[in-house]
Chains A and B, each alone.
Chain A
Amino acid sequence: MSEKKTKRRDFLFTATYAVGAVGVGATIWPMIDQMNPDASVKALASTEVDVSSMSPGKTITVLWRGKPVFIRRRTPDEISEAKAVKMEELKHPEKDEDRAKNPEWLVMLGVCTHLGCVPLDQKGDYNGWFCPCHGSHYDISGRIRKGPAPTNMEIPKYEFVSANTIKIG
């Protein structure tokens, strides 16, 4: 190497490899990206739910982007229970106020953050949800309390479009 000077030909080789690599990358990318969510999947990005018939203590499950979303109208007892939990007891500390803007309504993805199963309502050691697959326990705010799941159940983007209608997404 040391005795060899950089020649014009070396530059040509490097330039050819570089252009070739860009060409290969540009060809492969469509092959990879075609597997990402397509336009028709993305078009189903929001769902509106009528919750007028729900009484306190009731949970409904709706489908949003192919995933279940839990909507629970919580009782006053449940709300005070969720608010009373100290942050240091939590694996993934989040205040209940930040998870349920309107404390009466808890809207969250019904997907266990471990490996994606649907937790069961009103089960487990914390009076909230319990995932039957690998034994994660969630409290009444959907926060992970025990088991292998790393984080709390996710809160999707949602808003009350009227007093009785929630728009998810």
Chain B
Amino acid sequence: MSDHNYTPSSKFGKWFNDRLPLLSLANHLTDYPTPKNLNYWWTFGGILTFCLITQIVTGLVLAMHYIAHADMAFDSVEHIMRDVNYGWLIRYIHANGASMFFLAVYIHIFRSLFYGSYKAPREIIWIIGIIIYLLMMAAAFMGYVLPWGQMSFWGATVITNLFSAIPLVGEGIVTWLWGGYSVDNPTLTRFFTLHYLIPFLILGLVVLHIWALHVPGNNNPVGIDIQKPSKDTVPFHPYIVIKDGFALLMFMIVFAFFVFYTPNILGHADNYIEADPLVTPAHIVPEWYLLPFYAILRSVPDKLLGVVAMLSAIFILAALPWLDTSKIRSAVFRPLYRQFYWILVADVLILGYVGAMPAEGLYLLVARVATAYYFIHFLIILPVLGYKEKTLPVPLSITEPVLGGSPNLAGARIKSKKDLKI
């Protein structure tokens, strides 16, 4: 937390703060020294907080009108769309909000990958982030089941059946998850309960995520440790608040475009057909944000290994701070990593594309190559690169490349020699 002691100016404030130091916390958050070179890729933390709050508020309102029952869920969603005042707006914000949430989280994750934000001493922030991401996927999946359309039903069937790949106990686990012998009313009611619970778990983890962030402070595009506060930092308020606010405004324009002009483009038409346990839609696809993992699942011809590969693709991220052996954080000073980074971005986009296509012919071949490359990137390229790569010289401070000197040269030099092995 902040180094200086804060004393509220008013007598009541002091009295209150001595008993519950909320004002000290608020002061820490406004004065929090932030690297002054943070670019717009750093604004997605704030945008994600906005997304979470939006989902919670719209979700609470929807829960007032939605009925979690296999016979009534589909109709109650249509009731929201047609009868409830502004129901269409609230539901479209909630449904597209999920996509916007994932769009923002992917940018946030890939920003970390580019600037090495997951490296020491920020491993715990990163791992909490991965847990949040996992919970987001669980919440999104269960939320997609609630309208009880064809995609809801069959998506739930396919995803819960992933557990049947577990040897011996798999079938028992699936029956337990369903509360029956197929996806049915007991499945719907428990998914609704968990869908309601998970956002609050995420909220708690977000608090830990930010708390863990405020211990070492923000990483930055140069990727060096900076002294705080110093000429390399600015206070969070008003500098970062204004920048985050502007970025949020731009983001909301994109968000509003989807909500008001193409509210169904990210969904699937089959979900406007009520769930039918006797007919599987001809082409099942998950929501766009899960497609890369779906492609990995389908690219392996064995059921158990396919599930293992898909889960490994997510969990491998948690091991990233130890798989990436390079001491240099920012890709700005890693000419080779920078190229592999963009290849990985392309690889994930290709996986997403083939995940939406039928698993046959050329698509299947491309999916297999892209899946193999995904694991090669994390398991071979990153560990080896840390030893082989010739990195560029890292400046001692944020101001040094601009002004030639550094206001905190002495401190920065000692730190960087130890940390960066220059």
Residues of A at under 8 Å CB distance from B? Answer: 32, 35-38, 41, 61, 63, 65-68, 114-119, 131-135, 148-150
Q: Does B181 contact A (CB under 8 A)?
A: yes
Interface string of B267-298 (1 = CB under 8 A from A): 00000000001111111100000000000001
Residues of the B chain whose Cβ atoms lie less than 8 Å from the Cβ of A119: 280
Contacting residue for B179 out of A35, A63, A148, A150, CB 8 A: A35
Beyond A116-B158, A116-B161, is A68–B175 a contact (Cβ under 8 Å)? no
How many chain B residues have a CB neighbour from A under 8 Å?
37
- Measured CB to CB, the nearest residue on chain A to B156 is A116
A to B CB contacts below 8 Å, 21 in the list: A36-B176, A37-B178, A37-B181, A65-B181, A66-B183, A66-B277, A116-B158, A116-B164, A117-B158, A118-B278, A118-B279, A119-B280, A132-B281, A132-B282, A132-B283, A132-B284, A133-B154, A135-B359, A148-B298, A148-B300, A150-B302
Which of A35, A114, A115 has the most C-beta atoms of chain B within 10 angstroms of its own C-beta? A115
Given the complex, which residues of A lie within 8 Å of B411, measured CB to CB?
none
Complex contact B179–A149 (CB within 8 A): no
Given contacts A117-B154, A118-B279, contact A67 B303 (CB under 8 A): no
The 8 Å CB contact of A148, one of B154, B181, B306, is B306
With an 8 A cutoff between CB atoms, is B389 at the interface? Answer: no
B162 is an interface residue with CB less than 8 A from chain A: yes
Majority DSSP secondary structure for residues of A touching B: loop
Smallest beta-carbon distance B290→chain A, Å: 14
Chain B's closest residue to A132 (CB) is B282
* A131→B178 CA distance, assembly (Å): 22
Q: Is the interface of B mostly helix, strand, loop or mixed?
A: loop
B232 at interface by CB-CB < 8 Å: no
Cβ–Cβ contact B181 & A66, under 8 A: yes
Task: Give Cα A110–Cα B371 distance, bound, in whole angstroms.
Answer: 31
Q: In the bound complex, do residue A61 and residue B303 qualify as a contact, i.e. CB atoms below 8 Å apart?
A: no
A41 touches B179 (CB 8 A): yes
B175 contacts A115, C-beta separation under 8 Å: no
